[in-house]
Structure formats: C-alpha cells, structure tokens
Amino acid sequence: MIKPHGSEGLTPLYVEHADERRALAEQARSLNSVLLSSAGAANAVMLGAGYFTPLSGYMDKADALNVADSMRTGDGLFWPTPVLCLVDSVGHIVPGQSIALNDPNIDGSPVLGVMEVDKVETLSEQDMAHLSEKVYRTTDAAHPGVAAFKNQGRRLLSGAVKVLNFSYFKTEFAETFRTAVEIRAAIKNRGWKKTVAFQTRNPMHRAHEELCRIAMRRVGADGCVIHMLLGKLKPGDIPATVRGAAISKMVELYFQKNTVIIAGYGFDMLYAGPREAVLHAIFRQNMGATHFIIGRDHAGVGDYYGAFDAQTIFDDEVPKGELAIEIFNADHTAYSKKLDKVVMMREAPDHNMEDFVLLSGTKVREMLSHGIAPPAEFSRPEVAQILMDYYQSK
C-alpha cells in the first residue's frame, strides 16, 4: 500500500488501550485545563485519527510561521497549513505541565485529550495577519475561514497530544465517521491496489457521480472512497446527516457493489483553497488512497481563489517527491445534451454553454425549497427527493 505522509506507518494519537484511556481521563480531572476552539478540537480529532500523520501534536509559533512561509516545519517536514491550539486565556499554564483539553462541541465540555505543554506563546496581530495572508491568501474577515481563525484567541499552546475520544463525530455520525486507520484497513481488506478519493462537503449530483467514475476508469482504480467532511461549515451549507443520506442513496442505486466506500472525517472546513487542497491530499494519502480528485475551485469560497488554483499549486509550489499520492485534475463536469452523458466540459470543445445542463447553486436551492426536482440530467431523482425533504422541513 501507499505509505503515509512522512512516515513508514500511521501515527494516530488516539489512546487505543482502554485502561490507559481511563487512567488519563482520571488524571485529567486534577489538571489545569483549557477550552478548545472548534478548530482546535477538530485538529485534536484529526491527530487522534491518524490523518495528521506524522505530527505528534500542536505546532508552536516558529513552526506555524515556517509552514505559512514555506510549507515546511522547522525540522523540514512538508506541511501546508499550521495545526494550532489557539485559546483566549492560558491561566496559570506553563511549559512542562500536562493539561486537559476540553471539548467545546459537547455539553459539559468533557476532556478530549491531554497535552504535554512544550511552549506557551502569543500571536501578535501582525502574526495573525501574516498567517492569514499566507494560508488563506487574504486577511478579509468576510472570508469564513479567516473569520474562524481570528475568533480563536491569541494565546498559542504547543506540544504532544494524547487523544481520548473523537468528540461528537463517533456518536452523531456512527455510520460514517472513520479514522485514517480504519479506511486504510478497509482498502487493504478489499484488496484494492489503486484507490481514488473524492472530497465533498456537499451532496453529490450527477456530475460528481460521473466524475468519480471517470477518474476510476482513467487511472485503473479498483474503488473509490467518497470522503465527507463532517465538521463545522459556513452558514447555509447542507448538514452532514442530509449529505450522508443523499450520497448513500446515490451509491446504493447507481454504483456497482463493492466499488465505493463512504466515509467521513472530523474536521472543520478551512475554505483555504489551494493550501487546503494540499492538506486534503495528505489526508487521503494517510488513509491509503493512491489518487485524489481535485476539481474546479476545490476548498474555495467566494471569489478569493482562481478556478484552478487548487490544481496549479501541486505543480508550482509542492516540491516533487514530497507527496506519494497522485492528483487527478478535473474540469467542471456537466451533462451534455449532444452526447447524452456527463462529460468534463474542456473535453467537449465543439459545445456551446447551451449544450450543457447547467444550474447555479442558488437556482438548485430555490427549486428544492419549492419542491421542484432539478432535471434528471442534473440530479438523480432519489437524491433530489432527500434534498427536497430537507429544504421543505426548514
């Protein structure tokens, strides 16, 4: 199988042994504690699940700035985005202490993990602006990723982490949430030699469905992992439970059996465009995929990034040999009336725009809200019904 990023094997920070988990949870009751931000908690979940292999915990200020400037940590590891624990206040916490990390996303803020504090630092306004500019390519507070970043606090805690649970993801999304360890094992058990990964934070329409098939066919893949983001999104995005139901129905009815794994991961969307696309590629390499689909405006939002910046970063800024996973560059995909099938639009040069079935997201939401199914060429009727039920129940 493909090796994890920067390591011979996965390095999940979840404490596997129940006795050790209980002992750490008991110890945490007497430790100083901090309430994590949602992003900080998601980072802990990803560290625990092995997606952040080979990281051992949260980054310090020097590593954060190095990663922002050069996509490398101080010890030379290629990494595209800082992995931080930013809080409003650190109280009496000092380096060398063990502290409890409390989960902001569950009532009562239970302990999510334990950190061995290496450093306690402060990010200045200049530091925050610099990190935003490098990672998000903007400091605009209207950008949802920048807004979430700026709202986390300025006190930076770094150090190794032991993760005790997977927050709300394991309970609320029991059918979907999977660690990198679990997905890698599932791929191995199925005997897949080549695996395509498809990232989604939205329901999948006909174009997305066919894009997975196109990628599988062209790289000679044995299967595809449809990998859903389960964490915090921007207002207006469709909840993970609805997305999951829609995707499951599509796979059940329209994909050959045993060629698709549906899984989810516990991370808050950054909307960081190109940098986040590289991070997503690392996630997929760590979970065992050999190929990763990058489409138009991957991980983008608004007009902050060019349509294909998330593809060109792999050619322009990712050093050769740093990632083992291969990128499948995809164009905008749509149903061709001329050819009576879904195609990548760049591969239909004899077409005009009116030759495709194209609907804006706004138009689709408006139709669904009024109980009007989009054309069958755009969305499978069974998928459209699930989405109509959701919009009409709001």
What is the residue extent of each domain of the chain? Answer: 18-167, 172-265+271-393
Is the distance from CB of 394 to CB of 370 less than 8 angstroms?
Answer: no
Instruction: Output the pLDDT for position 237.
Output: 82
Is the distance from CB of 65 to CB of 73 less than 8 angstroms?
Answer: no
Instruction: Output the pLDDT for position 361.
Output: 85
Supply the Cα-derived Rg of the chain in whole angstroms.
21
pTM, rounded to two decimals: 0.95
Cα–Cα dist 372/387, whole Å: 10
Is the distance from CB of 247 to CB of 212 less than 8 angstroms?
Answer: no
Q: Which of 72, 154, 201, 213 is catalytic?
A: 201
Kindly state the tokens that stand for 354: 């009116």
Kindly give the parts of the chain with pLDDT less than 70: none
Structural fold of domain 18-167? Sulfate adenylyltransferase (3.10.400)
Enumerate the H helices of the chain as residue ranges: 18-28, 38-49, 61-70, 125-136, 144-150, 169-172, 180-190, 206-219, 240-254, 273-286, 309-316, 361-369, 381-393
Burial 74-89 (b: 16+ CB within 10 A, else e): eeebbbbbbbbbbbee
Instruction: Output the pLDDT for position 22.
Output: 96
Of the candidates 122, 151, 25, which has an alpha carbon nearest to the alpha carbon of residue 64? 122
Q: Is 201 a catalytic residue?
A: yes
Structural fold of domain 172-265+271-393? Rossmann fold (3.40.50)
Kindly state the tokens that stand for 198: 């498809």
Classify 60 as helix, strand or coil.
coil
Distance between start and end Cα atoms, the chain: 44
Q: Is 29 a catalytic residue?
A: no
Q: Which of 202, 296, 329, 365 is catalytic?
A: 202
